[in-house]
A and B are shown apart, each in its own frame.
Chain A
Amino acid sequence: GPKVLQIPSHQIIDMGQMVTLNCDPVSNHLYFYWYKQILGQQMEFLVNFYNGKVMEKSKLFKDQFSVERPDGSYFTLKIQPTALEDSAVYFCASSSTGANSDYTFGSGTRLLVI
């Protein structure tokens, strides 16, 4: 079936540096999401994005986080500056509609901040 691609699959970065996580969503999907999963813990919602705008963000979506999707390009999550507690797996997802639709998730980017 259709897939969500996430690049890179792994990233190691020094604390304080900037990192950009890239997501190529399913081509006809209009809604995009980022989730954070710390090892052994649950999937936690960060943000959703539609029509070029953030629709909702959680308390985990700190001021250091930003998202965008310039036309025809990746849906990105940028963290600047990174902190040790940002180490986690970040999953991108997309859906064709908002409520009541299921999401297609990517395989995640494993971010390690050292």
Chain B
Amino acid sequence: GDSVTQTEGLVTVTEGLPVKLNCTYQTTYLTIAFFWYVQYLNEAPQVLLKSSTDNKRTEHQGFHATLHKSSSSFHLQKSSAQLSDSALYYCAFNTGKLTFGDGTVLTVKP
């Protein structure tokens, strides 16, 4: 069945250093949209990035991700993490309903 795998449950990084959150997926659908959602404490999840185009880099708020259908991946990266980036990050895709990964808690420390 359809699934999203986020291998790290918790990532801790020092402010100013790069960060990468991994996301791989499994689906039989050929053309679907992929997302990164960010959820701050006690708030609603909100879209951070969206892509449905293979091998095209998508950027927003300093984060970027590239959908690679050949490796079924949509990793999230940022070159310089900020304290305000600390949150829960979900990778997801939409097949008529959003299917989320387990989420990765990103903690940025001074």
Contacts and interface: CB of A to CB of B under 8 A. Distances in A.
B77 interface: no
Contacts, number: 56
Interface in B7-66: 31-33, 35, 42-47, 50, 52
Contact of B100 (A43, A48, A102): A43
B100 A107 contact: no
A74 interface: no
Contact of B90 (A43, A98, A102): A43
B110 interface: no
A105 B32 contact: no
Contacts of A93: 98
A100 interface: yes
A55 interface: yes
Contacts of B43: 107
B97 A91 contact: no
Interface residues of B, number: 23
A100 B101 CA distance: 17
A99 B100 contact: no
Given A42-B102, A99-B33, A101-B33, A108 B44 contact: yes
Nearest to B105: A40
Interface string A42-63: 1111001000000110000000
Interface residues of A, number: 23
Interface in A60-95: 91, 93
A102 B44 contact: no
Interface of B: 31-33, 35, 42-47, 50, 52, 90, 94-103
15 contacts: A41-B102, A42-B90, A42-B101, A45-B97, A45-B99, A48-B96, A55-B96, A56-B97, A91-B44, A99-B94, A100-B52, A101-B33, A102-B47, A105-B46, A107-B44
Interface of A: 4, 33, 35, 41-45, 48, 55-56, 91, 93, 98-103, 105-108
